[in-house]
Amino acid sequence: MRIILFIFFAFTLSTSAFTQNKIHGRVLDKETGEAIKNVNIVIAGTTNGTITNSNGEFHLDLKENKAQLVLSHLTYQKLNIVLNSKKKVQNIELNKATYQMEVIDIGLSSYSGPSEFKTQKEDTFNKNLNDKIDSYTSKEINIIEDFAEFPEGLENLKAFFGINFRYPKSIITQSAAGVIYIVIKIDENGLVKQDQIIVNGDGDKNEIKNEVERLLSIMPRWYPAFQRGVAVPIKVLIPLKYSVI
């Protein structure tokens, strides 16, 4: 009887020690408070990790009482945080990320992009999008973070702005120059929504903003960003450099 009791007692201690080193957390959007699924969570310096479920929850087993975790998601800023396994449930908030693209120069005399903007037919776009989605399910990849993509690539995005931008009168008459910071949101379907337009330079700012709004209204769908094979919204900053000379 003593042997059986000793074994049971030892097993209880072992189980208790194991549960003490389990982290249970929940990842939330700092702005909206909504749960974030498919967040990649890795113990720093190891390959031990997990992802959040549809409720933003995750569980991780630790060798010690606390650990430094690295959280990443394409839509949000990466976060390093130390969590303690003694707390039962720990809420973690992530800030949305804005990805800055390279400066696109659409100067009247300095534009060096393509001379033709390529439009993509809807059936071609849909086929390419379906092929992209199929590629996620056909491969075993632990972490998939695929950035949003303009049809026919970056050079075609340069052509879209360089060819379609109509210079407002104020820029021409003042020989103005500057940079337009265009922040757009690309949703799960690849549709573009205006977020913010900031003009840093000469010329009538309202005229320039109106022209950028016109361009965004005719901008084609992007291929959306994907996190672990699931389309996710993303925010992108496009710096647009304009000049007459």
Euclidean distance between CA atoms 21 and 15, whole angstroms: 10
- What does the domain layout of the chain look like in residue ranges? 2-94, 98-243
What is the CATH code for 2-94?
2.60.40.1120
- 52 has pLDDT over 60: yes
Predicted pLDDT at 10: 43
Mean pLDDT of the chain: 87
In the Cβ-directed half-sphere of 31, how many Cα atoms lie within 13 Å?
A: 6
Which of residues 70 and 137 earns the better pLDDT score? 70
- In the chain, % of residues over pLDDT 90: 67
- Cβ-based neighbours of 94, under 8 Å, separated by 6 or more: 27, 28, 29, 30, 36, 39, 71, 73, 76, 77, 79
- pTM to 2 decimal places: 0.80
- Write down the pLDDT at residue 140: 53
pLDDT at 143: 47
